[in-house]
Amino acid sequence: MESKYIKYYVRCKNMNKNARQFYKALGMIVCTIVFCTSIIINYSLNGTVVLNQATYDIVRKAETHSDNDPLSGKIWEIKSDILLSPLLKILDYDKAILLLLAVLLAVTLGFTYMTLSENYVFLYILSLSPFFLSLFVVYSDYTIIAALISIIAYLFSRQKYMFAFIVQLLIAYFNYYAAMIIVTTTVSLFIIKKLRFRYVLLFTVPIAMSISTMNNNKALESGISFMQMLFTDFGAKYGISIALSILGLIGLVVIWKREPLAKYLFMFSAILCIIKISEGLFFANIIMIYLASKAVMAFIEEKWHNAWLKQISILLIFCSILFSGISYAKATFEDNMSDPDLMKTLEWIRQKTPENSTVLSYSEYSYVIKFYSSRKVIVESEFSSIDKPNPKLQDIDKMFKSRNVNTTAEILSKYSVDYILITKEMKTGLIWNKDDEGLLFVMTNSDLFSKTFSTNNTELWWFNRIK
Amino acid sequence: MRKSTEYVIFGLILLLSISLRYYYSYSQNTFQTDESYSVLRQVENIKNTGIPLYYDPLSYSGRESVFNPGYYYVMYALSVVFGEKITFKFIPILFATLGVLAVYIISKKLANAPAAIVSSLISIFIPIYTVKTTNTILPYTLVVPLFFLCLHLFSNVTEESKEGVITYIIALTFFSVVSSYVFIFILALLLYALLLKIEEIPLNKAKKELIIFSLIFTLWVQFLFYKKALLVHGPKIIWQNIPIEFIVNYFTNINILIIIYYVGIIPFFYALYIIYKYTFKAKDEGLYLYISLTTVITLLLIFRLVRLQIGLMILGFCFVIFYSLHFKQLMSYIDKTRFSKYKPLVVIFIILMFLFTSIGPTVASLNKRQSVPESSIAALNWISQNTDNNSIILGTINEGNVITYIAKRKNIIDTNFLLIRDINERVNDIETMYTSPSLVKALELLSYYNIDYILLDDARTTFSVESLRYASPDCIVPVYDTKPNDKVTENNTLTENHGIKVYKVLCKVQKYE
């Protein structure tokens, strides 16, 4: 068995060093091309580089220079405005975000390139994964964290532990949980080396499972299955693609004996996903891409009896990763809120409604309402909302579905709602399926409501709280 | 046994299989299931546009569809060569008979020629396979033979023969574009590799590579076909978005009695013995492939992850193949005993025993099965001739496909549930529209679905209603009404009629603004 792995190592080492460098450099170019193409496609489709709704909040925070959201009074949880804020003085937000994304991508790619030694596939898989799109085409705290992690990895590979620790502290500024994960993982890896794997597994998995049950219960109760939170192919916004997961598992098998640390890393990523799905998936993605790259390299370097079959298989692997990436990109670009009718309505709200009025709509529109109309909203869909569903959401959901005017008026008054924004998407599946369902029925048949503005795709209703 | 005798007997067996199916298929002018008519529409659309109905303007009054298009293209190509009548009635008979051929070839390889003959004879009378593939043009007819063709080609792969690898890849590619059940095949290959590892039997390199290739290839192809459905339904895509009310018809709890009833008692018990023997006592690389498939199918059936029909069909074939091994062993055992001179009697006894246990249920089921009644076709033809082209017709799930194919009108439900949101609500709404005593309630729903005509045919039995209770001369009026047992003239033939009504919806609910 040992000799088999030694042979494999020798074969890897024998691969032309220049060829490795060439493929690595080509990987960087592919990443850059994917980044540029995605940005161009999104810009041509939506007229903005902003993809994620949360990015609107980052821009608002950077513009207001305040720790509190003036529209909700809450403390901002986002930190990535720290880099955007100075740029907004000289550039408008679109260009500033684009510049930041490009710089952070260059930093990440640069350090990853220097960290990777024999791994010449990592960058290709990274660029084709949904993870790449969610990190470098959308500006968020995680974009900065990704850049910092690439720096930490580089420093570790060069055994500069003190510098790595300082960078870890920087991560703590952006996300405590992420920093905690990195520190715990690093420390654990040093400790685990002296422990037996099965004992670690014996204790950590049950603990993780129980924490998971506590954390994910609400999300599961709301009808979202664990798989739908985990895999982008099943509709998860920040998940892993199925193709990548399968390749990752193959990669794990490939390096199980050769790189003992891999199994610990894999175990950690699985546990992290179970404990806190959003942050966990971030790290799980990095590890899965690494493992998948190992699997693909094993495919490339393994001598097959039918060489042509091997070439087709490798081509198919890249096609399947590409396919996952494209379908994720398509869904993400289509999700971007820039429907001209919606923009027209939001502009109308900004100009014609009192400044302190509150607008109710589907939770995902909250960021654009705040950004374009500067009005308060009731519920916000956050990156972490899947872990802890907002209790307000349940009230609002009840109101959306209720045909009882008293229930509707009570909930709307409770949250001081003045306007209700309805879009075509909300009427065709997002919330309702029929024209006379729930709130739609109440608004049409009660004199408490009056339609104040409408376009082909949107309706704005005024709720008369005084009545 | 002489080769010529063997071939003659096998030829007669094939002829028997074809004749049996031919008799039951051609004794009726319509197809056994409503789903067959969706295949006809797909072929018709390929004929007109070159592509199948990825957007169907009639199904669910307009919806997107996801499916494996291979089978429809095959049927289209054959209809061009042989004409529609032969293709839609006779070709499925040939496809289904390919299953018998597959059993013969595999059994001959695993056992010997006499055993293969007996097994192939038994395979004609696997109750579920014979009933579900007679007088239909569903992809099942081709899927099961393809399953065993791929297994056979895989088992023939050697490191020396490049042709074997290429033939297998062609068959796998074809299977992948014909059906998503190729996943079961892949699972069987993976389990096969695992079994060989456990038994410490070396897996030849060409096969190992083919397993990896098959896994990657099928995953990729199926993702291409079903990406939208995956996004909409997530992992629940396994249950195909089948409404809760109907899911027990497709994915039901399995028990030994069900298996025995649908597969046959003799193949079942001897298969168990063979599986036991080759799992715990003997080793046979070739047989492990079929043991893996049996295990995978059984597990999928137990966990309700595969449709009962397809699961039992494949299981039935596996059992018949295992039976060939038992037959071979029994014959060699008898040869060693003093009863060897009575061997022909033993064979006759086995065949008789089999006749009593399998042929009976098969023929009984074939006689019991129902095809779409001609009176229903007459009503649908009336709809086609007397209603507006854009009319929407309310029918039950079992009528959806005939409404779109025969009447060429929009339906609001049929058996293709994938990508339909709130399917359970729709099913409940349909029941309400047929059974509600309240005109207001019914009109609300009729207006919501924009229904112009209500077909009361299958609903009589499905919802036990003789007429619509809310029908009124101002609003819901019968425009087509045949009393039970009236004779209906259709294509110059008189057919029995079980009483069909078509109501026209004259009013809609106006919303208060």
Residue A467 has pLDDT above 70, yes or no: no
ipTM reported for the complex surpasses 0.85: no
Q: Between the CA of residue B437 and those of A159, B434, B454, B509, what are the distances in Å?
A: 80, 9, 15, 16
Q: What angle do CA A37, A40, A41 make, to 5 degrees?
A: 85
Q: Is the pLDDT of residue A70 over 80?
A: no
| CA distance linking residue B340 with residue B309, whole number of Å | 40
Q: Return the number of CB contacts < 8 Å for A and B.
A: 81
Residue of B nearest to A326 (CA): B227
Q: Tell me if A363 sits within 8 A of A355, measured CB to CB.
A: no
**Bridge partners of residue A421, in order along the sequence:** A460
Contacts of B165 in chain A (CB under 8 A): 306, 309
Q: Which of A330, A434, A449 to mutate to probe the B interface, most B CBs <10 Å?
A: A434
Whether A233 and B227 lie within 8 Å, measured CB to CB: yes
H/E element, A217: helix A197-221
Range B299-324 burial, b when 16+ CB lie within 10 A, else e:
ebbeebbbbbbbbbbbbbbbbbbbbb
Q: How confident is the model at residue A1 (pLDDT cuts 50, 70, 90)?
A: very low
* pLDDT digits 0-9 by tens, A100-151: 999 999 999 999 989 887 788 888 888 888 888 888 888 888 899 889 989 9
Cα of first residue to Cα of last residue in chain B, in angstroms, is: 86
Please tell me the distance in Å from A434's CA to the nearest CA on chain B. 7
DSSP string, A161-198: HHHHHHHHHHHHHH-HHHHHHHHHHHHHHHHHTTS-HH
Weakest-pLDDT range from A5-9, A29-33, B197-201: A5-9
- Residue B112 DSSP one-character state: -
Q: Which residue intervals of A222-373 are DSSP H helices?
A: 226-230, 242-255, 260-275, 277-301, 307-335, 340-352, 366-368
Residue A127 has a pLDDT of 87
* Residue B10 · residue B97 · CB < 8 Å: no
Q: What does chain B come to in residues?
A: 513
Residues of A in contact with B513 (CB under 8 A): 444
CA dist., res. B99 & res. B96, Å (int)? 6
**What distance in Å separates the CA atoms of residue B498 and residue A289, rounded to the nearest whole number?**
63
Give the model's pLDDT for residue A4: 56
Instruction: Tell me the backbone φ, ψ of residue B503, rounded to 5 degrees.
Output: -105, 145
Sheet holding A449-454, edge to edge: A376-377, A358-360, A419-423, A458-463, A449-454
Q: Is B106 exposed, middle or buried (0-12, 13-18, 19+ CB in 10 A)?
A: buried
Interface check for A254 against chain B (CB to CB < 8 A): the answer is: no
Out of B216, B232, B422, closest to residue A317 by CB = B216
A323 part of contact set with chain B, CB < 8 Å: yes
pLDDT per position in chain B (513 positions), as tens? Answer: 677 888 899 999 999 999 998 988 888 888 888 888 999 999 999 999 999 999 999 999 888 899 999 999 999 999 999 988 889 989 999 999 999 999 999 999 988 888 999 899 888 888 888 888 888 898 888 999 999 999 999 999 988 888 889 999 999 999 999 999 999 999 999 999 998 988 888 888 889 999 999 999 998 899 889 988 888 888 788 888 888 877 777 766 667 777 777 777 777 888 888 888 877 777 778 888 999 999 999 888 887 788 888 888 898 899 889 888 888 888 888 888 887 888 888 888 887 887 777 787 788 878 877 778 888 888 999 999 999 988 999 999 989 999 999 999 999 999 889 888 888 889 999 999 999 998 888 888 888 888 999 999 888 888 888 888 888 888 899 998 886 665 555 444 445 556 788 999 988 775 443
Q: What pLDDT, on a 0 to 100 scale, did the predictor assign at position B450?
A: 86
pLDDT tens digits, residue range A365-418?
888 888 888 888 887 655 434 444 567 777 888 888 888 888 888 888 888 888
Query: For position A386, what pLDDT does the model report?
Result: 42
Q: Looking at chain A, which residue has its C-alpha nearest residue B448?
A: A434
What does the DSSP 8-state code read for residue A449? E
φ, ψ of residue B78 to 5 degrees: the values are -70, -35
Residue of A nearest to B220 (CA): A320
Which of A77-91, A203-217, B179-193 holds the top average pLDDT?
Answer: B179-193
| Euclidean distance between CA atoms A326 and A232, whole angstroms | 11
Residue B235 has its nearest CB partner, among A234, A304, A312, at A234
Residue A426 in this model has a pLDDT that exceeds 60: yes
Residue ranges of alpha helices (H) inside B397-465 are 400-402, 423-435, 439-448, 459-462
Query: Which residue shows structure tokens 């007679």?
Result: B134
Q: What single letter denotes the amino acid at residue A228?
A: Q
Pairwise CA distance, residues B502 & B480, whole Å: 5
CB atoms within 10 A of CB A313: 20
Backbone angles phi, psi at B410, to 5 degrees: -75, 140
Distance from CA of B209 to the nearest CA of A (A): 7
Mean pLDDT of chain A, nearest integer: 78
DSSP secondary structure of A408-424: HHHHHHHTT--EEEEEH
Mutate which of B61, B215, B220 to test chain A, going by most A C-beta atoms within 10 A? B220
Chain B contact set for A435 (CB, 8 A)? 448, 511
Chain B CB within 8 Å of residue A444 CB: yes
CA-to-CA dists, residue B293 to B186, B207, B290, B381, angstroms: 9, 16, 5, 45
Interface test with A, best of B169, B187, B209, B425 (most A CBs within 10 A): B209
Q: Using CA atoms in the order B121, B124, B129, B130, what is the torsion angle rounded to 10 degrees? A: -160
Arithmetic mean of pLDDT, A62-83: 79
Global pTM value: 0.80
User: What is the distance between the alpha carbons of residues B314 and B293, in angstroms, rounded to a whole number?
Assistant: 9
Is the four-CA dihedral B94, B95, B99, B102 of positive or negative sign? positive
Residue in A225, A310, A323 nearest the CB of B224: A323
On chain A, the residues whose CB falls within 8 A of the CB of B227 are 233, 323, 327
Residue of chain A minimizing CA distance to B166? A309
Angstrom distances, CA of residue B326 to CA of B107, B273, B332: 11, 8, 10
- Evaluate whether B452 touches B393 at the Cβ level (below 8 Å): yes
Question: How far is A208 from A203, CA to CA, in rounded Å?
Answer: 9
pLDDT greater at residue B53 or residue A69: B53
Residues belonging to chain B with any Cβ–Cβ distance to chain A shorter than 8 Å: 159, 162, 165, 169, 205-206, 209-210, 212-213, 216-217, 219-220, 223-224, 227, 230-232, 234-236, 421-422, 425, 444, 448, 511-513
Calculate the alpha carbon distances from B89 to A78, B311, B381 in Å: 66, 25, 21
Contacting residues of A for B209, CB less than 8 Å apart: 304-306, 309-310, 313
Q: What confidence score (pLDDT) does residue B513 get?
A: 36
A426 touches B at CB < 8 Å:
no
Q: What pLDDT is recorded for position B490?
A: 47
Round to whole Å and give the CA distance between B26 and B128: 19
The helix or strand, by DSSP H or E, that contains position A463, with its residue range, turns out to be strand A458-463
Cβ of A320 within 8 Å of Cβ of B216? The answer is yes
- pLDDT over threshold 60, residue A13: no
